[in-house]
Chains A and B, each alone.
Chain A
């Protein structure tokens, strides 16, 4: 069964460093998302991406964050200068088509980011 994959499963970094979280969405999917969950808190929407551009983003997704689809398979989230409060579990998700609101979002297993 096709699935969304994410690497690495756990990333430890020093404050101020840049990190890139990687996701491989399901191959025929067209809409991509990043969510995050700070320990003990809600899963929060960060950004959605379609046709090589951001379609929606939250107030959390400031200039420190960027997303990219560098090739036909990967979808990345970059944090330019990490802060302690960026420590969280980051989930990638994808759906086949955003035009059909009934479509299920398929989630990856997450990357746990720890900023020291």
Chain B
């Protein structure tokens, strides 16, 4: 069965520091990979997605992620975070044969001044 693992439930970081949020998936078929962000009292917003082609994907708000097929990972990075990046981040996969998203458990990014 397909699954998504986000090992870090919470990542505290100081403002302007770099951050990496980890995501690993398991699937025996081709997948599409996504990162969503959820700000307090709001819905899930798409940050970026990997469909095919270049393994380095750039998204909104200065985030990027790298698809690593051999390690089945899709880690999210930002070189310098802001207070406003404090939110919950969800990694998700979508299989080629299905419309549904399979989510990880989420990582709460807490940016401190």
Contact = CB atoms under 8 A, between A and B. Distances in A.
Interface of A: 3-4, 31, 33, 35, 41-45, 48, 55-56, 58, 91, 93, 95, 98, 101-102, 104-110
B94 A109 contact: no
A101 B96 contact: yes
B51 A42 contact: no
Interface of B: 4, 32, 36, 41-46, 49, 51, 90, 92, 94, 96, 98-106
Contact of B43 (A45, A48, A108): A108
B43 A4 contact: yes
Given A43-B90, A101-B32, A102-B51, A107 B45 contact: yes
A31 B45 CA distance: 17
A107 B44 contact: yes
B99 A44 contact: no
6 contacts: A42-B103, A43-B44, A45-B101, A55-B99, A101-B94, A109-B41
B43 A98 contact: no
Contacts of B102: 45
Given A56-B98, A93-B44, A107-B36, 6 more contacts: A35-B103, A43-B106, A44-B103, A56-B99, A58-B100, A105-B101
A101 to B, nearest CB: 6
Given A101-B96, A102-B51, A104-B49, A91 B43 contact: yes
B94 A45 contact: no
A9 to B, nearest CB: 8
A104 B98 contact: no
A107 B106 contact: no
A58 B51 CA distance: 24
Contact of B99 (A31, A42, A104, A108): A31
Contacts of B36: 107
Contacts of A4: 43
Contacts of A108: 43
Nearest to A44: B103
A94 to B, nearest CB: 11
